[in-house]
């Protein structure tokens, strides 16, 4: 496996010298390595050796103006495929388990949305202490993976578990984690997003303010979770997320046709703001001013969500959206029944909320069992939470 981006956090321990070798091996295998060196880590290895081996600058300070202007700590933790702590000291483990954010390493760990792998290294008594074992259990529950520690003679002369895993073992653990199938591996997903454009004549169309951001984030999260994902999108100004198959359409009828040709799929998420109406006929020539009043005869568009929910090839799970400006939950519950879908993601799109075109969203997930009120999250996080809920639901229905 090649070409992944690793963020390596180096804590303060004698095993830090092995991290230099780890960087070399990872680079040989085509990975990019960026290092965060803690204050204690800098007592054992120098930033210069790390920079020379990684070919990247080394990050050390949370409050450094140069570091923050080049790459903020949030960005640093997000721009990686995997975060590796080697050596992971007792203190770094405690900080992460406790959710601390008082230096660059702990802040990056709290901010990351990527898998984390720890290679602990410490004295055997420190490793066996109730506090460290409690922290290890907490971290494992939070989804952190561990490699080592190995048993053996330690630098301090004692014998037992506490030695950091060897660079080769850490490389193998990294590559296993990166290759791990996501919870939606083997599943297929269809997502609609963006507005539709309904032409009136060769130069005019009816449209709406949808930016497509929420739908794109959902498609990205489903693909990241391993689903074979097709995104059917109306005209938007944003790029398709990685690993998503993008089909670009303009009108509701084109969107429906693209969706139907994607069937069968395991899950469909209809996040598009489809125009409910279209001009009855598209004029072949630009409509002149004096004829405009008679030009706007509308006819209903097909309802894609309803068609998918009630069709012969119904996906196992169909999720719709309800963008409302009043009585959000009641309207969404009615919509869930009227359309025949399983879930509705409801949100308030009144202008004061800034949801339309904005980065954040406050949604309610309406299912047959009731209403889940999610906190205000950025649209990426709404996508990831929804993908996780979808994975859970599909697993239960397959079981």
Catalytic residues: 156
Phi, then psi, of 324 in degrees rounded to 5: -125, 160
- Return left, alpha or beta for 357; rule: phi > 0 is left, psi -120 to 50 is alpha, else beta: left
Q: Which residues of 223-243 are buried (b: 16+ CB within 10 A; e: fewer)?
A: bbbbbbbbbbbbebeeebbee
Binding to ligand CTP, residues 241-260 (CB under 6 A): 252
Which one of 173, 305, 346, 366 is in contact with ligand CTP (CB under 6 A)?
305
Residue nearest ligand CTP (C-beta atom): 304
Q: Shortest approach of ligand CTP to residue 271 CB, angstroms?
A: 6
287 binds ligand CTP (CB under 6 A): no
262 binds ligand CTP (CB under 6 A): no
Binding to ligand CTP, residues 331-370 (CB under 6 A): 335
Among the candidate windows 160-168, 227-235, 271-279, 362-370, which touches ligand CTP by CB under 6 A?
Answer: 271-279
How many Å apart are CA 80 and CA 32, to the nearest integer? 9
Q: Shortest approach of ligand CTP to residue 348 CB, angstroms?
A: 12
232 binds ligand CTP (CB under 6 A): no
20 binds ligand CTP (CB under 6 A): no
């981006």: which residue's tokens? 5
Q: Shortest approach of ligand CTP to residue 235 CB, angstroms?
A: 15
Which one of 83, 96, 147, 270 is in contact with ligand CTP (CB under 6 A)?
270
How many Å apart are CA 40 and CA 74, to the nearest integer? 22
320 binds ligand CTP (CB under 6 A): yes
Among the candidate windows 86-94, 99-107, 137-145, 301-309, which touches ligand CTP by CB under 6 A?
Answer: 301-309
- Which of helix, strand or coil describes residue 375? coil
304 binds ligand CTP (CB under 6 A): yes
CB 117 within 8 A of CB 83: yes
- HEC string of 326-368 equals CCHHHHHHHHHHHHCCCEEEEEECCHHHCCCCCCEECEEEEEC
Among the candidate windows 22-30, 61-69, 228-236, 298-306, which touches ligand CTP by CB under 6 A?
Answer: 298-306
Among the candidate windows 75-83, 227-235, 242-250, 297-305, which touches ligand CTP by CB under 6 A?
Answer: 297-305
Would you tell me the crossing angle of helices 104-111 and 90-98 to the nearest 10 degrees? 40
Q: Around 18, how many Cα atoms within 13 Å sit in the side-chain half-sphere?
A: 22
- Which of helix, strand or coil describes residue 208? coil
Among the candidate windows 7-15, 220-228, 243-251, 300-308, which touches ligand CTP by CB under 6 A?
Answer: 300-308
- HEC string of 19-69 equals HHHHHHHHHHCCCEEEEEECCCHHHCCCHHHHHHHHCCCCECCCCCHHHHH
CB 196 within 8 A of CB 249: yes
How many Å apart are CA 139 and CA 122, to the nearest integer? 17
Closer residue to ligand CTP in complex, CB, 305/391: 305
Q: Shortest approach of ligand CTP to residue 342 CB, angstroms?
A: 12
272 binds ligand CTP (CB under 6 A): yes
301 binds ligand CTP (CB under 6 A): yes
Binding to ligand CTP, residues 189-208 (CB under 6 A): 192
Closer residue to ligand CTP in complex, CB, 16/273: 273
* Tokens of residue 118, six digits: 């720890």
How many Å apart are CA 53 and CA 10, to the nearest integer? 14
Closer residue to ligand CTP in complex, CB, 85/305: 305
Q: Shortest approach of ligand CTP to residue 320 CB, angstroms?
A: 3
Using CB under 6 A as the binding criterion, the count of chain residues that bind ligand CTP stands at 15
219 binds ligand CTP (CB under 6 A): no
How many Å apart are CA 144 and CA 48, to the nearest integer? 29
Sort strands 343-348 and 363-367 into parallel, antiparallel or unpaired: antiparallel
Residues that bind ligand CTP (CB under 6 A): 192, 252, 270, 272, 274, 276, 301, 303-305, 320-323, 335
């Amino acid at each position: 496996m090649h070409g992944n981006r690793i963020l390596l956090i180096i804590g303060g321990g004698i095993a830090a010298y092995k991290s230099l070798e780890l960087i070399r091996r990872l680079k040989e295998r085509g990975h990019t390595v960026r290092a965060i060196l803690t204050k204690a880590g800098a007592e054992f290895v120098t930033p210069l050796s790390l920079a020379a081996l990684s070919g990247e600058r080394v990050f050390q300070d949370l409050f450094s103006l140069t570091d923050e202007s080049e790459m903020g700590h949030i960005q640093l933790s997000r721009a990686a495929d995997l975060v590796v702590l080697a050596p992971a000291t007792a203190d770094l483990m405690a900080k992460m388990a406790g959710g601390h954010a008082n230096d660059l390493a702990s802040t990056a760990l709290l901010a990351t949305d990527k898998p984390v792998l720890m290679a602990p290294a410490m004295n055997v008594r420190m490793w066996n202490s109730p506090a460290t074992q409690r922290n290890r259990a907490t971290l494992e529950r939070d989804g952190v993976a561990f490699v080592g520690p190995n048993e053996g003679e330690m630098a301090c002369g004692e014998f037992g578990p506490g030695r950091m895993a060897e660079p080769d073992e850490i490389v193998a653990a990294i590559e296993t984690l990166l290759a791990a199938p996501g919870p939606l591996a083997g599943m297929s997903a269809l997502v609609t997003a963006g507005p539709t454009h309904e032409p009136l004549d060769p130069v005019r169309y009816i449209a709406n303010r949808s930016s497509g951001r929420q739908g794109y984030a959902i498609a990205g999260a489903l693909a990241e979770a391993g689903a074979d994902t097709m995104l059917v999108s109306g005209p938007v100004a944003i790029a398709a997320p990685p690993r998503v198959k993008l089909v670009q359409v303009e009108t509701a009828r084109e969107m429906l046709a693209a969706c139907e040709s994607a069937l069968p799929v395991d899950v469909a998420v209809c996040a598009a703001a489809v125009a409910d109406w279209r001009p009855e006929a598209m004029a072949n020539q630009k409509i002149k001013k004096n004829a405009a009043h008679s030009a706007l005869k509308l006819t209903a568009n097909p309802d894609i969500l309803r068609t998918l929910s009630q069709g012969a090839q119904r996906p196992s799970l169909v999720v719709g959206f309800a963008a409302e400006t009043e009585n959000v939950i009641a309207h969404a519950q009615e919509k869930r029944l009227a359309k025949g879908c399983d879930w509705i993601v409801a949100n308030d799109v009144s202008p004061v909320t800034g949801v339309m075109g904005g980065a954040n969203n406050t949604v309610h997930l309406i299912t047959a069992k009731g209403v889940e009120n999610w906190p205000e999250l950025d649209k990426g996080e709404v996508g990831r939470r929804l993908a996780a809920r979808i994975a859970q639901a599909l697993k239960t229905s397959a079981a």
